[in-house]
Structure 1
């Protein structure tokens, strides 16, 4: 019977590794590392940092960008999972030079640097144009619906929200009346019941005040159809909208991406608080034209293409 050398995959080994050698020429991770380290201007990411004289050193934005963009290319969007990859995956270790940013650091970087990330996107687009990767002849536009961090329960027209506020006030009044009926407690159980009732009143009062504040400081949202009927607002995130998907109704955004036909390079990506996509076509096309003109790629894209 044949004999083979013994091997075990589930083992830990101390290995001497040169991180740069793990980024093989011709791979996406090599291109990502080279562009961010050598070609792209990251000065916009440096502005928020104020630790030159005091405070501890921060993670270099170049490191964070490399691991985040590489994770996105693999379909990984969770900050916790990106942190885990930095702990266990050799390519992530190579891109981060074996540093492991906490998931809160990664999440804060993504959420707080939106303008700088948009500027970086345009720099990458210029590189793609210089390399002849853009055809400028045909764009494909498509969207997908994404959940937002907002509850559907806080959605409604102004009339519906007013009805909800009145209902909360009636509930508050009811609990107050019940609480006042029992101004003395004969047992510990009655005392616990009274405490729970007070907590319920405070919770309802907080919800009613939240609706009241929203109605005072906001105007009804109008749809973009011919009749411009009122659409549901959302107290938590009023830019999002209720949308019907194949998996049910969600509170979220319609993410619309545009790609150039030649090499499927993304040239624009936006999020709209509208379920219907036909209203998004014009602003997307206008944004692409304005971007191409500002970057010097094309003065009038739709006439030249």
Structure 2
């Protein structure tokens, strides 16, 4: 029997990292960070803040937007789950610059600034789509997926661009509405990660058994024509 080095995922580690180094160029998270940090105007958010003369310092809208948009890309539409991700996930920690906004802060921000968030996310996602960063695993809702082959789709008419814009706008709005609903109905019990992990493992085991049964009970089918293929 071959011998391999042992490894254990269930452990903590003290690691010295640079947060910007975690946002690798060419990734969706790097694009989100760069566009929100350097290309968007956040003055639209300022009128609703009243702490210029007194009061506690507020989280920068840029930080909150990065957390929320990246969370949506991973199918996370719970403010509590976003807070937990900022505490534990290295990409979230990098995007948030190692801050951990309370879930009530995230929920309040989304509820107070829905229209502004939708408009800004639309701009970011259009650029990400043009760069081919919206793969099929991102923002897939009810079978509606943005193609990652941007080079074939981007060179078109203004009408086609408008259609892409409307599609992205619908995806963003879906996530915002899901976010409202989750925050309203969710309790701490819903976020019991041991239960969620067990359910996920059970689902993976079921899927693996289904694939295994299929492979054991079905034979390859040969295509017809001059070149027979399985």
| Equivalent residue, structure 2, for 1:97 | 97
Deviation at 1:2, TM superposition (A): 4.1
* 1:11-39 Cα shifts (integer Å, max 9, x gaps): 11100010000001100000000000011
Task: Report how many aligned residue pairs link the two structures.
Answer: 151
Rounded Cα–Cα distance in structure 1 between residues aligned with 2:99 and 2:114: 23
| Equivalent residue, structure 1, for 2:75 | 75
* 1:59-95 Cα shifts (integer Å, max 9, x gaps): 1110000010001011111111111111111100100
Q: What residue ranges of structure 2 are gaps of 5+ in the alignment?
A: 132-150, 175-230
2:156 alignment partner, one of 117, 130, 135: 135
Deviation at 1:97, TM superposition (A): 0.8
Rounded Cα–Cα distance in structure 2 between residues aligned with 1:265 and 1:16: 43
TM-score, normalised relative to structure 2: 0.57
Q: What residue ranges of structure 1 are gaps of 5+ in the alignment?
A: 141-257, 272-305
SS of the residue 2:58 aligns to? coil
Rounded Cα–Cα distance in structure 2 between residues aligned with 1:53 and 1:19: 32
More helix by share: 2
| Equivalent residue, structure 2, for 1:29 | 29
Aligned alpha-carbon RMSD (Å): 3.1
Is the contact made by 2:76 and 2:82 (CA closer than 8 Å) also made in structure 1? yes
Rounded Cα–Cα distance in structure 2 between residues aligned with 1:90 and 1:126: 26
Rounded Cα–Cα distance in structure 2 between residues aligned with 1:101 and 1:121: 19
1:266 has 2:163 as partner: no
Deviation at 1:125, TM superposition (A): 7.1
1:4 has 2:4 as partner: yes
Rounded Cα–Cα distance in structure 1 between residues aligned with 2:64 and 2:85: 13
Is the contact made by 1:45 and 1:61 (CA closer than 8 Å) also made in structure 2? yes
Is the contact made by 1:66 and 1:96 (CA closer than 8 Å) also made in structure 2? yes
Larger Cα-atom Rg: 1
1:86 has 2:107 as partner: no
Deviation at 1:121, TM superposition (A): 4.3
Deviation at 1:103, TM superposition (A): 0.9
| Equivalent residue, structure 1, for 2:40 | 40
